[in-house]
Structure 1
Amino acid sequence: MRDLPDDDDWTPDRLKVIGERVRAERRRQGLTQDQVWQAARVDRRTVQNVESGREMKVGTLLRIAWVLEVSLADLVT
């Protein structure tokens, strides 16, 4: 087990990677952001925020993963 760093400087980079994975999978499937946010029943801005690596909720990622038919682990690991 490793200790958490003293600051949160590492989290923006991690969120960006997750967002890039969501975007890449969406594009791989030929889907638009509009199609994803409508199917996931989230706000358009929410999908934009996820793909740009801003703060995201696990529940939102679960909805997006469901719509994209991938596991949450595929997006976050």
Structure 2
Amino acid sequence: MPSAPLPDWVLARRRIIGERVRAARKARKVSQERLGELVDLDRKTINRIEQGSYATLIDHLLLIADALDVPLTDLVR
């Protein structure tokens, strides 16, 4: 992580990605807890990703997209 504060646009994009993760999860009727089990993350981390308060790894987004059977591009476009 950079030592300087992140620009507002980065934080805004993080929130948008989180909203898309949440929408995809809900569309597939998967709980945060179950998604966490599928991708080996705890429920709190899934919640932080969805809230946009967690700087998630691309690896996590790849696992989430796979678990929810959505293209990664749908989450980050």
Normalized against structure 2, the TM-score is what? 0.85
Is the partner of 1:10 in helix, strand or coil? helix
1:59 aligned residue: 59
Q: What is the CA-CA distance between 1:43 and the residue it aligns to?
A: 2.2
The aligned amino acid for 1:66 is D
Is the partner of 1:30 in helix, strand or coil? coil
**Where in structure 1 do 4 or more consecutive aligned residues deviate above 4 Å?**
none
The alignment yields a C-alpha RMSD, in angstroms, of 1.1
Q: What is the CA-CA distance between 1:56 and the residue it aligns to?
A: 1.3
2:3 aligned residue: none
Is the partner of 1:12 in helix, strand or coil? helix
Normalized against structure 1, the TM-score is what? 0.85
1:30 aligned residue: 29
Percent identical among aligned pairs is 38
- Mapped partners of 2:45, 2:70: distance in 1: 19
The unaligned stretches of length 5 or more in structure 1 are 1-6
1:11 matched to 2:21? no
Is the partner of 1:22 in helix, strand or coil? helix
1:71 aligned residue: 71
The aligned amino acid for 1:30 is K
Q: What is the CA-CA distance between 1:41 and the residue it aligns to?
A: 1.1
Number of paired residues?
71
The aligned amino acid for 2:24 is E
